[in-house]
């Protein structure tokens, strides 16, 4: 939960238990906080508080501890230490994988939405790896929908489960592990491919790809070039730099989504934007063939910046990494509106960033555009103004590793 609501995408093993405070997922967390505080009025006689004390009139829907840590985190501009401890204690990572009293792990089917900006593929992969590490039977399914939007046609069908592919997957899982029926549960990983056509009145099964385990596919390397290009060979890297700013109070800010309602109008028609001068960008040449990416890309780079104090997390540099799909007409698609924040405490060290996990086809003729932005409206970024510079030296290349499927 500390990762989900305040992600810091720095973990090379994709498990974020020990990650420092990241960027607060402000829109999602405050939506839930407001919804919870409305419940006593909407449902009189019920309350979330359990401490034995009467509820705070200013925060009636929660235990007082929740009210305090929410206020503290908003004031600080990042998740405070007591907030992180509280959220970790309420998470599977604590209850299952860090609790010495838990010695047996149940067979677990993880179903994760590819379009979900609240709980992302990175969340699911961390849990998947936890079960694998402890030898528990586990299957990872990346479906289309989630908190940010509906499932795809033929994934779930309450009227006729035989036409819902996810219905069949979890019914088979229950039959196998609860009834002992011996019904196969299928491959260890399955993922929905939104570029594969199928009959929307039937099952979504044709759109699902599979693999025996995670990760899926192979790694394709791209390199940042000082001229602003994204190149496929180290020989093509040019020296150069890009400088951009995080303005005071993070305004103007990049726009990726309006959390929870992005799939609805008018929000679904609002394109992603990055204010000029507040980001660095690296763009590839047009792709010669379709490029199918399934997994979590990573980026290794370094930077310099002014105005950061490692003793004050609120002033540290925060960046938001993302990959745009750029069409031949220069229109851009931010894949599923996903971004990856990272808070950088030590500017003297190289930065490792896990970018948004996706299942996406970049069509032939399109280009990849990697962006490192200083802000995002859905998050709380750095509260200090910064001037940030990314300097490319061909002798120490900055590498983007993109997980791709073999053609």
Rg (CA), the chain: 22
**Whole-Å CA distances, 201 to 75, 155, 156:** 50, 10, 11
Assign 360 a pLDDT band (cuts: 50, 70, 90). Answer: very high
Phi, psi of 391 (to 5 degrees): -110, 125
- Per-residue model confidence (pLDDT) at position 50: 53
Asked whether the CA dihedral 123, 125, 129, 135 is positive or negative, the reply is positive
Distance, CA of 384 to chain centre: 24
Residues 142 and 128: their CA atoms lie apart, in Å, by 12
Residues found in the chain: 407
Spatial neighbors of 291 by CB under 8 A, at least 6 apart, are 220, 361, 362, 368, 402, 404
**Whole-Å CA distances, 109 to 142, 187, 229:** 11, 12, 41
* pLDDT per residue as tens digits for the range 95-135: 777 777 877 888 999 999 999 999 999 999 999 998 998 88
* pLDDT per residue as tens digits for the range 42-59: 887 665 555 556 667 788
Neighbours of 269 (CB within 10 A): 7
Percent of the chain predicted with pLDDT > 90: 75
**Residue 81 pLDDT > 60:** yes
Residues 197 and 370: their CA atoms lie apart, in Å, by 28
Neighbours of 43 (CB within 10 A): 10
Assign 204 a pLDDT band (cuts: 50, 70, 90). Answer: very high
**Residue 40 pLDDT > 80:** yes
Side-chain-side CA neighbours of 310 within 13 Å: the count stands at: 7
Q: State pTM to two decimals.
A: 0.94
Angle between helices 81-89 and 64-76 (to 10 degrees): 130
So what's the architecture of 218-404 in CATH?
Sandwich (2.60)
* pLDDT per residue as tens digits for the range 305-342: 998 887 888 999 999 999 999 999 999 999 999 999 99
Distance, CA of 169 to chain centre: 24
Residue 86 is encoded by which pair of tokens?
Answer: 């509280």
Given phi > 0 = left and psi -120 to 50 = alpha, else beta, which region is 154? left
Hey, where are the domains in the chain? 2-211, 218-404
Sequence-ordered alpha helix ranges (H) in 259-302: none
| String of DSSP letters for 326-361 | E-TTS-EEEGGG--EEEEES-TTS-EEEEPPPEEEE
3-state secondary structure of 173: helix
Contact 118, 263 (CB under 8 A): no
- Per-residue model confidence (pLDDT) at position 393: 97
Contact 236, 364 (CB under 8 A): no
């Amino acid at each position: 939960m500390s990762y989900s609501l305040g992600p810091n995408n720095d973990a090379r093993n994709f498990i974020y238990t020990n990650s420092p405070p990241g960027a607060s997922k402000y829109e999602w967390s405050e939506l839930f906080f407001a919804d919870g505080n409305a419940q006593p009025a909407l449902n009189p006689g019920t309350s979330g508080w359990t401490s034995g004390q009467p509820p705070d009139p200013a925060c009636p829907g929660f235990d007082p501890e929740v009210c305090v840590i929410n206020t503290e985190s908003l004031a600080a501009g990042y998740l405070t230490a007591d907030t992180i401890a509280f959220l970790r204690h309420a998470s599977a990572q604590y209850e299952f994988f860090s609790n010495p009293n838990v010695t047996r792990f149940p067979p677990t089917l993880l179903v994760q939405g590819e379009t979900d900006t609240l709980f992302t593929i990175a969340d699911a992969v961390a849990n998947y790896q936890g079960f694998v590490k402890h030898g528990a039977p586990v299957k990872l399914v990346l479906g289309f929908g989630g908190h940010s939007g509906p499932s795809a046609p033929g994934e779930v069908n309450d009227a006729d489960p035989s036409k819902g592919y996810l219905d069949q997957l979890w019914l088979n899982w229950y039959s196998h592990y609860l009834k002992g029926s011996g019904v196969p549960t299928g491959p260890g990983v399955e993922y929905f491919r939104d570029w594969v056509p199928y009959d929307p009145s039937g099952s979504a099964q044709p759109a699902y790809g599979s693999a025996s385990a995670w990760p899926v596919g192979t790694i394709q390397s791209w390199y940042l070039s000082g001229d602003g290009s994204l190149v496929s060979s180290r020989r093509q890297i040019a020296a150069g730099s890009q400088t951009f700013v995080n303005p005071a109070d993070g305004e103007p800010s990049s726009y990726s989504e309006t959390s929870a309602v992005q799939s609805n109008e008018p929000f679904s028609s609002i394109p992603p934007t990055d204010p000029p001068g507040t980001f660095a960008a690296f763009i590839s040449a047009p792709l010669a063939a379709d490029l199918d990416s399934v997994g979590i890309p990573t980026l290794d780079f370094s930077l310099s910046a002014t105005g950061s104090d490692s003793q004050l997390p609120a002033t540290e540099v925060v960046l938001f990494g993302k990959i745009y799909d750029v069409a031949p007409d220069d229109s851009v698609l931010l894949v599923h509106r996903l971004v990856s924040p990272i808070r950088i405490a030590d500017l003297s060290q190289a930065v490792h960033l896990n970018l948004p996990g996706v299942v996406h086809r970049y069509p032939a003729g399109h280009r990849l555009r990697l962006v490192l932005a200083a802000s995002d409206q859905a998050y709380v970024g750095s509260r200090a103004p910064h001037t940030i510079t990314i300097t490319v030296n061909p002798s120490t290349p900055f590498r983007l590793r993109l997980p791709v499927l073999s053609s």
